[in-house]
Amino acid sequence: MRLYLASTSPARLATLRAVGIEPDAIPSHVDEDAAIAGAGPLTAAETVQLLARLKAEAVAESGAAFDGLILGGDSAFELDGRVYGKPHLPEVARERWRAQRGRSGILHSGHWLIDARGGIIGRAVGGVAAAEVRFADDIADDEIDAYIATGEPLEVAGAFTIDAKGAGFITGVVGDPHAVVGLSVPLLRRLVRELGIEVHFRKSIWHAQVAVPTLKAKKDKQGTPVLLRDQVKSEISTCLITLHDQVADMVLQLVKITRTQS
């Protein structure tokens, strides 16, 4: 079973891959600003849930053949009751950073999961994860300008990241830490189970599906591909060298301990 991620966010991709899931990333092309404007007044949680649903549905309705689960996600930062998405412009990012340094706000991440197993669009479930993010109070204006110059804060909710260049400005997180990168692994697990799918290492999306390249090589008299045989020999040689080095290090440590005790 595959997981189709209705996003090309590097942070979401990295989070899934870190827990053993290799998703198919598909951009949704949802006009977020138009969707929010047409929905009327929304809370931060309602905003991210709406956009997560629209992204997942856009991919589901794209006409592609699916056999698995489609996941949409969106994030927004809440400070003083106001909801902030991506700043897009340097001056907007600068204004937000000057307002949020030394303070804390809530990062909301919406999730929408559609059951598309067997190519049939079925049930859908959703949820929102949140975490309080605390910022350092000694962030200088020139640091803010240098950070903005990297371009990183312009296309992320709240104008900051915790898994990249913005990490040094964050002093604490209270709540679901995965929510800060835009994808809550515990919430995803719960949503999968709500669809009646057991989360098991070898029976679900937790089993990473990695494409194995086909090797074309000449065969010897025994019919063994020469290239593959040589690769196996190389791998064994590398493992033996590594094992030898590890054993040598252990022996040296034991000698040091023995000398210390004597």
d(CA 77, CA 101): 14
Residue 106's nearest CA partner among 51, 15, 46, 174 is: 174
Q: Is 74 a catalytic residue?
A: yes
Cα distance from N-terminal residue to C-terminal residue, the chain:
60
Tracing tokens 């197993």 back to the chain, one arrives at: 117
CA within 13 Å, CB half, 80: 4
Whether 66 contacts 45, CB under 8 Å: no
Using CA atoms, how far residue 77 sits from 115, 165, 221, 238, in Å, is: 28, 18, 65, 48
Of the residues 33, 74, 141, 145, only one is catalytic, namely 74
Cα Rg, the chain, nearest whole Å? 24
Report, as residue numbers or ranges, the catalytic residues.
74
